[in-house]
Chains A and B, each alone.
Chain A
Amino acid sequence: MRSLSLRAPSAMPGFGISFGILMAVLSVVVLLPIAALLGRGLLIGPADLWDMVNSRRIGNALVLSFRAALVAALFNLVFGLALAWVLVRYEFWGKRVIDAAVDLPFALPTAVAGIALTTLYAPSGVFGQALAPFGIQVAYTELGIWTALIFVGLPFVVRTVQPVIAELDAEVEEVSATLGAGRAHTLRRVVLPTLTPALLTGFALALARSVGEYGSVIFIAGNIPNLTEIAPLLIVIRLEEYDYDAAAAIGIAMLFISFAMLLAINLIQIWSRRRIGLV
């Protein structure tokens, strides 16, 4: 009997209404639109879909979005680890403010970040002028896209690694030192392996966010087709031309990249739970 029912018996009331509200809102807002996008893909057909995604401009945009997101996530992996370590282990004046400020990219609207970064890094901007003598131009090049994505993805690694560092057992590090390991050796061989799952999760989250980022990038990117034109922007351009098929093709390609990364995040978490019972 029990194995036939989808839900285990419970004395709690309100399953029907809570499940009903959830599914109604989730369906209208998220699931049906995503289904409509995938449905459009079926109507176009896999062969045509592939041809469109494989075209020079769309292919370049997808590769650029992924490459820039990867560079930014790698930067944030290293910087996020350093920042989380400093915030947990060291004492300095203004630490609480710095800790709170880490979430600024979550709270600041992307369009605001976009125009602010562009103003700073444009040839006439403060940073733009400072970098010009070195022959570095950030705004309207791929460097600008990296800068925007670094800003957007900054909190992810910090916020996933920080609680794990806080819960590290100091005794383990002591034992390592007692056994004759230098500090650098302890950090590399004892501490870092414990942090790896959280680091990977934060990295994947930052990557997933950056691949689809639009608002902070389009102002600073220059948006030159094949060079600095990101995939989400190309969707907007195709939609403005009423080319719904091409827009849907790019959208579906991006959706699959997202699904792959979501799967990766889940696998990392299962792996880490088995390995050390963290996260």
Chain B
Amino acid sequence: MTDATLTHATPQGTSVTTEPRLFRWLLTGTVLALMAVLLFAPLLVVFVEALGDGIAVALQSLAMPDARSAILLTLTVAVIAVPLNAIAGIAAAWAITKFEFRGKAFLITLIDLPFSVSPVVAGLALVLLFGANSTFGAWLVANDMRIVFAFPGIVLATMFVTFPFVARELIPVMIEQGRAEEEAALTLGAGGWRVFLTVTLPNIRWALLYGVLLCNARAMGEFGAVAVISGKIRGETTTMPIMIEMLYNEYLSVAAFALAAVLALLALLTLVLKSLLEWRHAGLLAATRRH
């Protein structure tokens, strides 16, 4: 507020709380130029390469059996992994924000752990636990439960890398909202589930959507962890990012970039929805993003 009145009181460019006009122009120009080179050029080249031979060729390559099965697999994995992580994230936020217990800070660190572990290391860890090389894994294989180089492994790898998203978004929001409303509902005789569904959930719905949105974007695009655990069996365990790698390495550039363009469109859609949420419901999202 004081900032606004100040800039009005003094002519543009001479305020003591801003930099000289030439400096402002140079800095803005440099930053925008770097954004163009570092971010917009790579995004643009995806669409240019995908449509290089015309949109018909791009669509045709998306209709090929390999591409179709990759799209279907990626969607199926997300449909299973994202809701499971949403449930775990809600449970985590409830346990952490509604109760006091020992080791809470350590538990939060464990929830955040996947963000600082390399996706490849995550895939490796899953292979070592569930793969045929371990006792447990050998037992699983003997009982006809394949996890590594199969669908369940891809789901687990995806869940590993996206585990923190929902909890991390919900915890600050639920801490800020406190427990008073839930306690009032309990006093009035509502049961636990009813309190959650009619009091908590409406309060956290936008934050939950925000977390799910980020979780989904990462789930559909995950590469490193899935690359390790999927075994890259063509048409069976090849998700869209894995298929992009295979096509690219086979010099099928248009097909690779056509699939990449689909994921890039999904990323753009995610950014648009995310920005809409930030503009419309800023007050109901995690405090760190309010600016």
Interface of A toward B, CB cutoff 8 Å: 6-8, 10-15, 17-22, 25-26, 28-37, 39-40, 79, 82-83, 85-86, 88-90, 92, 96, 98-113, 115-117, 119-120, 126-127, 150-151, 154, 159, 162-163, 166, 169-171, 173-174, 177-178, 183, 187, 208-209, 211-215, 219, 231-233, 235-236, 239, 244, 247-248, 251, 254-255, 258-259, 261-262, 266
A residues near B218, Cβ cutoff 8 Å: 106
CB within 8 Å of A: which of B213-255? 214, 217-218, 220-224, 227-228, 240-242, 244-245, 248, 253
Known contacts A30-B113, A212-B120, A261-B116, A107 near B217 by CB under 8 Å: yes
CB within 8 Å of A: which of B101-141? 101-103, 109-122, 124-130, 133-134
Known contacts A111-B260, A170-B6, A177 near B16 by CB under 8 Å: yes
**Which residue of the partner chain A has the closest CB to B232?**
A240
Interchain CA distance A247-B112 in the complex, whole Å = 24
One digit per residue, 1 when the CB lies within 8 angstroms of any chain A CB and 0 when it does not, for chain B 20-45 equals 10001001101110110111111101
Contact A37 B30 (CB under 8 A): no
5 tightest A-B CB contacts, nearest first = A212-B118, A109-B221, A13-B192, A33-B125, A177-B16
A residues near B280, Cβ cutoff 8 Å: none
Contact pick for B88, options A14, A25, A92, CB 8 Å:
A25
Known contacts A14-B94, A239-B228, A111 near B223 by CB under 8 Å: yes
Classify the secondary structure of B's interface with A. Answer: helix
Q: A149 CB to closest chain B CB, in angstroms?
A: 11
B residues near A117, Cβ cutoff 8 Å: 42
**Which residue of the partner chain A has the closest CB to B112?**
A262
A residues near B127, Cβ cutoff 8 Å: 239, 244
Contact A100 B39 (CB under 8 A): no
Interface of B toward A, CB cutoff 8 Å: 2-3, 6, 16-20, 24, 27-28, 30-32, 34-35, 37-43, 45-46, 49, 84-85, 87-88, 90-92, 94-95, 98-103, 109-122, 124-130, 133-134, 156, 159-160, 163, 179, 182-183, 186, 191-192, 195-196, 214, 217-218, 220-224, 227-228, 240-242, 244-245, 248, 253, 256-257, 260, 263-264, 267-268, 270-272, 274-275, 288-291
Q: Would you list 7 pairs from A and B whose C-beta atoms are within 8 A, ordered by A residue?
A: A10-B99, A79-B34, A107-B271, A108-B267, A170-B3, A174-B6, A212-B118
Contact B95 A15 (CB under 8 A): yes
Contact A251 B124 (CB under 8 A): yes
Contact B196 A36 (CB under 8 A): no
Contact A262 B116 (CB under 8 A): yes
Interchain CA distance A86-B16 in the complex, whole Å = 17
Contact B275 A100 (CB under 8 A): yes
Contact B98 A29 (CB under 8 A): no
B residues near A163, Cβ cutoff 8 Å: 288-291
Contact B114 A30 (CB under 8 A): yes
Contact A10 B121 (CB under 8 A): no
Known contacts A14-B196, A21-B88, A214-B118, A170 near B17 by CB under 8 Å: yes
A residues near B113, Cβ cutoff 8 Å: 30, 34, 262
Contact B38 A262 (CB under 8 A): no
Known contacts A101-B40, A173-B17, A239-B124, A30 near B160 by CB under 8 Å: yes
Interchain CA distance A119-B45 in the complex, whole Å = 8
A residues near B34, Cβ cutoff 8 Å: 79
Given A116-B49, A163-B289, 13 additional A-B pairs, CB 8 A: A7-B99, A7-B101, A7-B102, A14-B94, A25-B85, A33-B125, A108-B43, A109-B222, A116-B46, A187-B19, A235-B228, A247-B124, A248-B124
